[in-house]
Structure 1
């Protein structure tokens, strides 16, 4: 169990450093760009994130699972083939319909830069594939270095473009360079393990068939998850415009810092560890999961308390007076930080025990919940504050339910395993 905490410490330290670079750049960026500019960036990232769910048909989660390097390599090539096809298709569709598409989300400033969307998707997809490949080999130091490098490139480029008044496209270019920086760092390691002799059409097709449940269940689940995560930004961009979206975007960026620094990095190390342990040791996975849960619960109370008490003051001082509304929105939405942070790493257990249908059900229920929230807001013209209050409360309840459900799955696997042992 000590190895996972060593990996967590390594990933978390680098993640904190990369996020610290981002945090230090935000006060500069918010003074160079307007809330409307930030709204354009937030909507662009949200659209790309939703499209990312289709990038590999979720076959990327297969890469750490095969015992042999050959099959893992064929899984990665399968992901690259799918990614190439999806990005080409997106390029063709956007080429013919980009004006209608960007106008719908109030992103007219990006109409002449429509080609950045498929480029961004390609780089996002490559990062996902290469990152998962590195996780398979527990190259957490490499992942950490890539995170720091990409954060430095993104922050520097956005500041430079802001200084020369390249608004808002400077933010978009900076975001694309963030992903490019990570690809550069991870690609060398991938090719160091690549062997064309081990790759064949037969093996690629075998991987696609053997893990066919992944696109059947995990793809819809991931699409729903991406929609759930990005729905607030897309809804506010469509309904309230980019000015409000910029304020919401900054609030969500600050709120996501503890989740991205802690939950995602722990989730990567946790997934690598439990995949290595294997599904035949459910009791060990259960003990590890409980330990992770307790530690995350304690850690998450710190950012929650700080934001609730000092949220608006922090935003005014750090980002300028024009961002005070973002501080208010952050206070409201900070309620679900705790539940989101503690549940995020544990979801990886569903991969280990192939509970893809359950994962689909979880994301479908959350999607319907959010559709209900934003539909009510739209129909009854709720204020931004009331909409965010309802959103934060109901989402917190949903995350708590997910956590309980995952521990129920582990209890079931332990009982089933103990029963099989006794029978033998």
Structure 2
């Protein structure tokens, strides 16, 4: 138990520092760029995030699972091959159809800079692969350093580009540099562990076949998850102007700070720990999961309370009067912070017990739920406030459902183990 909390403390400390750098830079960035510029960035990141689900066909989740380094190494090479193919395909598609893609999301500013999309996806994919490789070896200090470095690079570049009036393009380049910074930090460790003698086509194909359920079930699940997470930005980018999208984008950016700083960070350490424990010890995983759940529930109350009470005033003071709407939107959407924080690390248990088909149905139900919300919003012409409130409420209910479902799975695994022992 002590190892996971040591890793969590290390990751959380670095994550707090990296997020603090990002947080301190936002008041400067919001005064250098307009809501419209931020809207372009938010839509660009959302499109990239959805495409990221295809980058490795989700084989990246396999890297921590094999017991031997050889098979883990072949899994990582499989991911790199898939990533290269996907990015090449995206490059070809955006080369011929960039005007159609960007005009659909009101991103005409980016048409002449279409090549940033495949470049961004390549870097995002590399970060995912290299980060998961580092998690396998519990190199949490390295991951922490990479997080701080990339946050510093991103904040500095966006401020510099804002000072020389590059507008939305400056934000896009800064975002690309964020991922590049992380790749630089993590690639050295990966190369130090790489052994070409252990990589064979036979082993790569074996990994692809043995974990074939991953692209069958986890890929559609991840695509649906990415669509759900980015649906507000994509919806407002398509249905409203870039200024409204920018206000929503800033609200979501601020809301994502506690989620990424706490939930995702703990999730990395938690996944590394439960993968190491193994599926044959469900009681140990169950005890750890309950402990993590209780602590996250207590921690999440603070950001929720602060945003609900002081949301608009905080945004005006921190980011300027023109971002007051973002503060209002953040107050409304803060409803789902608690449910999101407590469920996000626990989802990794579905990887350990290979419940990929279940993960697919969970994300499909969430996607249909949110798609219904935004479709009804268009049909009945709901206001932005009403749309966000319904979205936040239903998302909270769904996250709570996921948490209960995971604990039911753990109960089942414990009962199965007890019955086998008694027999």
**Normalised-by-shorter TM-score class:** over 0.9
Following superposition of structure 1 onto structure 2, how do residues 103-142 of structure 1 map, counting pairs within 5 Å? 103-142=103-142
Q: Does 1:17 align with 2:36?
A: no
SS at match of 1:351: helix
Alignment match, 2:364: 364
SS at match of 2:78: helix
Alignment match, 1:331: 331
Alignment match, 2:212: 212
Q: Output the CA distance in 2 between the equivalents of 1:77 and 1:395.
A: 36
Report the alpha carbon displacement of residue 370 of structure 1 after superposing the two structures with TM: 0.5
Alignment match, 1:186: 186
Tell me the TM-score normalized by structure 1.
1.00
Alignment match, 2:313: 313
Q: Does 1:395 align with 2:395?
A: yes
Report the alpha carbon displacement of residue 47 of structure 1 after superposing the two structures with TM: 0.1
1:148-202 CA distance string (max 9 Å, x none): 0000000000000000000110000000000000000000000000000000000
Structure 2: gaps of 5 or more residues: none
SS at match of 1:335: helix
Q: Output the CA distance in 1 between the equivalents of 2:254 and 2:18.
A: 14
Alignment match, 2:34: 34
Q: Output the CA distance in 2 between the equivalents of 1:406 and 1:241.
A: 39
Q: Output the CA distance in 2 between the equivalents of 1:350 and 1:198.
A: 29
Structure 1: gaps of 5 or more residues: none
Report the alpha carbon displacement of residue 321 of structure 1 after superposing the two structures with TM: 0.1
SS at match of 1:273: helix
Q: Output the CA distance in 2 between the equivalents of 1:101 and 1:278.
A: 44
**What number of residue pairs does the alignment pair up?**
423
1:316-355 CA distance string (max 9 Å, x none): 0000000000000000000000000000000000000000
Alignment match, 1:286: 286
Q: Output the CA distance in 2 between the equivalents of 1:172 and 1:85.
A: 23
What RMSD, in angstroms, separates the aligned Cα atoms of the two structures? 0.3
Alignment match, 1:226: 226
Q: Output the CA distance in 2 between the equivalents of 1:93 and 1:394.
A: 35
Q: Output the CA distance in 1 between the equivalents of 2:274 and 2:372.
A: 36
Alignment match, 2:383: 383
SS at match of 2:404: helix
Following superposition of structure 1 onto structure 2, how do residues 68-107 of structure 1 map, counting pairs within 5 Å? 68-107=68-107
Report the alpha carbon displacement of residue 422 of structure 1 after superposing the two structures with TM: 1.1
Report the alpha carbon displacement of residue 288 of structure 1 after superposing the two structures with TM: 0.2
1:18-46 CA distance string (max 9 Å, x none): 00000000000000000000000000000
Q: Output the CA distance in 2 between the equivalents of 1:337 and 1:67.
A: 35
Q: Output the CA distance in 1 between the equivalents of 2:417 and 2:175.
A: 46
Q: Output the CA distance in 1 between the equivalents of 2:357 and 2:21.
A: 39
Alignment match, 2:48: 48
1:344-385 CA distance string (max 9 Å, x none): 000000000000011000000000001100000001110000
